[in-house]
């Protein structure tokens, strides 16, 4: 993978990110859960844009000889992933014996990772993770309905 990124690559990455975020969020919205389509799209897009920004800043990585500051561009995607982890932790609630929001938190964190993959140029990995991550979201509900019948 080259260090230079072109507008056509950025457009492809963002288009795939919209598709992946839409697929993950559609299942959540369709079933009436929080963190549905809009939230998942925003999370995947934010992660993708952060990774694209990191790719654009990569040539400036390091410490110039006349400066005390060090440019560490890998902190940007790591900060996004950590921040979404905290948001996910805030989505988890305990009501008596029930614990709610774990799937919401996991979905947001997973959508972030998919966005980071797609924004970083790992198009096959990000697309495949979106596909394999969407299966538990849709199929787990079918298994619960089947078990309760």
* pLDDT lower than 50: segments of the chain: none
Distance, CA of 75 to CA of 58 (rounded, Å): 12
How many angstroms separate the most distant Cα atoms in the chain?
70
- Placement of tokens 């500051």 in the chain: 69
Q: What is the pLDDT at residue 46?
A: 93
Q: What is the pLDDT at residue 11?
A: 95
Q: Are 115 and 40 in contact (CB under 8 A)?
A: no
Q: What is the pLDDT at residue 135?
A: 66
pTM above 0.85, yes or no: no
Tokens of 18: 């919209």
Distance, CA of 78 to CA of 28 (rounded, Å): 25
pLDDT digits (tens, 9 = 90+) for 68-103: 777 778 888 889 989 998 988 888 888 888 888 888
Query: Distances in Å between the alpha carbon of 87 and those of 41, 65, 69, 81, 90?
Result: 15, 38, 30, 10, 5
Q: What is the pLDDT at residue 7?
A: 92
Nearest to 111 by CA among 49, 34, 48, 63: 48
């Amino acid at each position: 993978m080259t260090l230079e990124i072109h507008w056509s690559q950025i457009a492809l990455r963002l288009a795939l990110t919209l598709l992946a975020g839409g697929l993950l969020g559609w299942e959540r919205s369709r079933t009436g859960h929080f963190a549905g389509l809009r939230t998942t799209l925003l999370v995947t897009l934010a992660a993708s844009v952060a990774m694209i920004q990191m790719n654009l800043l990569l040539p400036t990585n390091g410490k110039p000889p006349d400066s005390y500051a060090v440019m560490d561009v890998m902190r940007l995607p790591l900060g996004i992933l950590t921040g979404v982890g905290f948001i996910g932790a805030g989505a988890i609630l305990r009501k008596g014996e029930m614990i709610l929001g774990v799937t919401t938190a996991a979905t947001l964190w997973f959508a972030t990772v998919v966005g980071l993959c797609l924004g970083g140029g790992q198009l096959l990995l990000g697309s495949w993770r979106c596909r394999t991550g969407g299966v538990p979201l849709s199929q787990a509900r079918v298994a619960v309905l089947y078990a309760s019948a």
